[in-house]
Amino acid sequence: MKFFVDTADTAEIADLAATGLLDGVTTNPTLIAKAGRDFLEVTAEICKLTDGPVSAEVVALDHAGMLREAEILRKIADNVCIKVPLTIDGLKTCKALTGEGTMVNVTLCFSAAQALLAAKAGATFVSPFVGRHDDNGFDGMALIDDIRLIYDNYDYRTQILVASIRHGIHVLESARIGADVITAPPAVIKGLFRHVLTEKGIEGFLADWAKTGQSIG
């Protein structure tokens, strides 16, 4: 399973990239606003921090406007992946862009039927939002299960990119189901490294090491 980080914070992206686990980055207008940086400038910087896909979202709602914005965004770098909403115009844009060899992430997916449409439009990635699904009384991970089943039934190549991840269990369940990618905030990814017994183990080893009076090097 690929790991993307869901942020426009370049320091966080660089930090995770150094661990070798980072396969790509997703951003959205909210994350760009949070970073307080120029959209095109920060996207160009992020594209240099990873070789993987970097999702940059259009804000136009009509097909022509989305294509105009995508034209500007895809010139930033070869690894830019255009993010479009799961609407009729979004899927028209998806079809046009993937037909030209541009990666497309279809975002704001909340049903398996929507995911089926994204696959038929040739999406590179579909982003079901599990956290927001849970927040509204639905079962986010059941949605991933359904999409996996449907995509496998018809051998669709669209990658399931589990988004709106809130905690490590979402990551673990995504791997169990066989999702292709997860995108999570830096804090959630960093939380996966931690275990109370790892910390306790380090503490114990250091205490015993101190008793030896030795140092390495």
Which of 120, 132, 134, 168 is close enough to bind ligand E4P by CB under 6 A?
132
The residue annotated as part of the active site, out of 2, 75, 83, 190, is 83
User: End-to-end distance of the chain based on CA atoms, in angstroms?
Assistant: 39
| Residue 90 lies near ligand E4P (rule: CB under 6 A) | no
Nearer to ligand E4P, 136 or 198 (CB): 136
- For the CB of residue 55, give the shortest distance to ligand E4P in the complex, in Å: 6
Q: Residue 139: how many CB atoms within 10 A of its CB?
A: 12
Determine the interface stretch with ligand E4P among 42-50, 69-77, 124-132, 148-156 (rule: CB under 6 A). 124-132
- For the CB of residue 19, give the shortest distance to ligand E4P in the complex, in Å: 20
**Cα 128 from Cα 111, distance rounded (Å):** 8
Which of 114, 158, 174, 183 is close enough to bind ligand E4P by CB under 6 A?
183
Which of 43, 93, 98, 107 is close enough to bind ligand E4P by CB under 6 A?
107
- For the CB of residue 153, give the shortest distance to ligand E4P in the complex, in Å: 25
- For the CB of residue 96, give the shortest distance to ligand E4P in the complex, in Å: 21
- Whether 54 contacts 47, CB under 8 Å: yes
Q: Is 34 one of the annotated active-site residues of the chain? A: no
- For the CB of residue 126, give the shortest distance to ligand E4P in the complex, in Å: 11
Q: To which H or E segment does residue 202 belong?
A: helix 196-212
**Cα 90 from Cα 60, distance rounded (Å):** 9
> What is the C-alpha R_g of the chain?
19
- Whether 100 contacts 74, CB under 8 Å: no
**Cα 30 from Cα 98, distance rounded (Å):** 25
| Residue 26 lies near ligand E4P (rule: CB under 6 A) | yes
**Cα 166 from Cα 4, distance rounded (Å):** 14
| Residue 158 lies near ligand E4P (rule: CB under 6 A) | no
Nearer to ligand E4P, 102 or 164 (CB): 164
- Whether 89 contacts 63, CB under 8 Å: yes
82 is written with which tokens?
């255009």
Residues that bind ligand E4P (CB under 6 A): 6, 26, 28, 107, 127, 129, 131-132, 163-164, 183
- Would you name the residues annotated as active-site residues? 83
